[in-house]
Structure 1
């Protein structure tokens, strides 16, 4: 990959996503990320007069750390990391991976300690009190998950991550307005029939300020309003474990039945959903429309932006579109409604909003792939 593309991506993060200013402190946290990109990011931060702080991680080392986790250890590390985050104005999280399943054999109870005492307090501080953006970084393992060669995937990656997000922002304004005005949502598809309310919840446009890549507009169901069933047609990697064929049945907002493709996956799925009371309720509903992301690649940050998809999220609700649900879990599960995945419809108060992955009303046509590229 060329130095030019590294610099272009760094510029997107610094000038579009975080809009860094002179004197602002930015914490750059990387995971299995090549030095070339970290250096480019430091240079871009320094060029605008901001102050870079850097910490690099190895996922293999973190795996060993998590396996040895104790409550006291995770509390101490979490408190230390939280105090540092409180001194920052911005945060960049860049995650690469030589093995996307590196954490798959970390016991669930150990991951829960990390989630509860380290990740959650620091994430809450970061999300609510700093400017922040997170992204993945291309690697052979990532390319393999996407079913592509490393070279082809790297080209794809930079197309996705450096598209015209200002154009996307303008195109999604009418969708946000429709979400703000809507009450009842109905989702139907080959393995899907869900209905719920989003009345008075709020809606948030996502165009490269928090995630790279981006391309979604999200809201949140009224907590007890969700009824129906869904069999997700994409696999999901969560807490280092791969899940396929996740099926949820919901009654009055609560997930009352949850299964996956194998008994082991079903057991792990329910273990996660039993993490706390809020994990069996939904904390986000979002429509995805990034024109370059068309196929699942077992990476949530990309998969949740797939054109013609939506994601439905057990667990924590964001305070920007909030139904009051609180949980250590926030698990974006993706369903694609394009024809090759079985099709489907999205309706707001009975009006057809999207059919087989394409927006239908005139004011939303700008979000279809041919108009965003």
Structure 2
């Protein structure tokens, strides 16, 4: 039986996220989906709107083999053809499922670096992010539900509720926060194991409410590249390149991560040594989706958690450019609600958020449902 929530989600992706128009080319990229229903709905929906859909269907096991056997030449060849295709697109919808979220865990770091540098970065950072109306999302699978510690049926209900949220109302609630971030210079963050200061002065502030990620709910900018000083202890796990990291702690000096530890300290530092920019941060964001309360080892959900923020070693976005360039972009999440240890965020000495809840009167709409 066809699930009508699939069609509702497809409409959000086509009309709200991509604002797809007649005559536009849209690439639908599916990775490890258990079934094709959403892709079919997107193809049919794009065609009804007069757009031109193109589909690519990938398998993570095959990609693992390609990455493990990567050479400069093989990654550049893949990039050449995918870049040619991406350059013809006005919109991009990326749907990622996973039968095994740790599928890439045994790909050597030097091989992942080849993929990131010669394939992912030229196609996605340079072309897709800057040149298309793009949106990426995960797909509800058994392994995804397991990571969220939920039954598959319960997780599907949660997933569709969160992914088809009222993004117009979210956008309205975010406006006062955007205004405050645009005026702010010094940010101070305190919490268990965390005492961090940096500047966001004159860096563009971007509200996210369904146009690039599904689910969505964050307001992001970037730290001034050399301004971060202090320590931070992240309290959520993070899966990156197939490995689950926990207990990540950074020490910063003049913007650079000078000390980094975790359960996988050696792997963590290998990632941070991918290039010069990997030890500097390209994004800082405040989570505003109060439907998402607990981490589930998926960045697209975890970085939106109500009462959280994330700090990102690696590449900045052109739209909020602090000058940092890297092949990595790794959003690491710290939740500041009381059930996760609490904490505060200050803008220029004023308390902005305490224990996950915004303090100023003009930001109270962002606390609804928290």
Superposed, 1:1-373 pairs within 5 Å as: 2-33=2-33, 34-123=35-124, 124-261=126-263, 265-370=264-369
Q: What is the CA-CA distance between 1:2 and the residue it aligns to? A: 4.9
Question: SS in structure 1 opposite 2:319?
Answer: coil
> Are the counterparts in 2 of residues 133 and 209 from structure 1 also a CA contact under 8 Å?
yes
Distance 1:36 1:370 in 2: 32
SS in structure 2 of the partner of residue 305 of structure 1: coil
2:346, 2:353 within 8 Å by CA — same for their partners in 1? yes
Unaligned runs of 5+ in 1: none
Provide the rounded CA distance (Å) in 2 between the counterparts of 1:269 and 1:370: 35
CA distance in 2, matches of 1:251, 1:347: 20
8 Å Cα contact 2:291-2:369 kept in structure 1 = no
Alpha-carbon distance in 2 for matches of 1:266, 1:32? 29
TM-score, structure 1 as length reference = 0.97
CA distance in 1, matches of 2:276, 2:70: 24
User: 1:369 & 1:59 partners in 2: Cα distance?
Assistant: 38
Q: Give secondary structure in 1 for the equivalent of 2:225.
A: coil
SS in 1 for 2:320: coil
Q: Deviations over 1:154-192 (max 9, x none)?
A: 100001100100100011011111111000000111121
Asked if 2 retains the 8 angstrom alpha-carbon contact of 1:307 and 1:369, the reply is: no
Higher mean displacement: 141-150 or 36-45: 36-45
Counterparts of 1:214 and 1:223 in 2: how far apart (Å)? 25
Give me the CA root mean square deviation: 1.0
1:232 deviation in Å?
Answer: 0.5
Q: CA deviation at 1:3?
A: 2.3
| Distance apart, 1:292 and its partner CA | 1.1
Alignment check: 8 A CA contact 1:290 1:369 kept: no
Equivalent residue of 1:297, what SS?
A: coil
Give the deviation of 1:361 after TM superposition: 0.8
8 A contact 1:343–1:355 mirrored in 2? yes
Matched position secondary structure for 2:318: coil
Deviations 1:40-66 (A, max 9, x none): 111111121111000001111111111
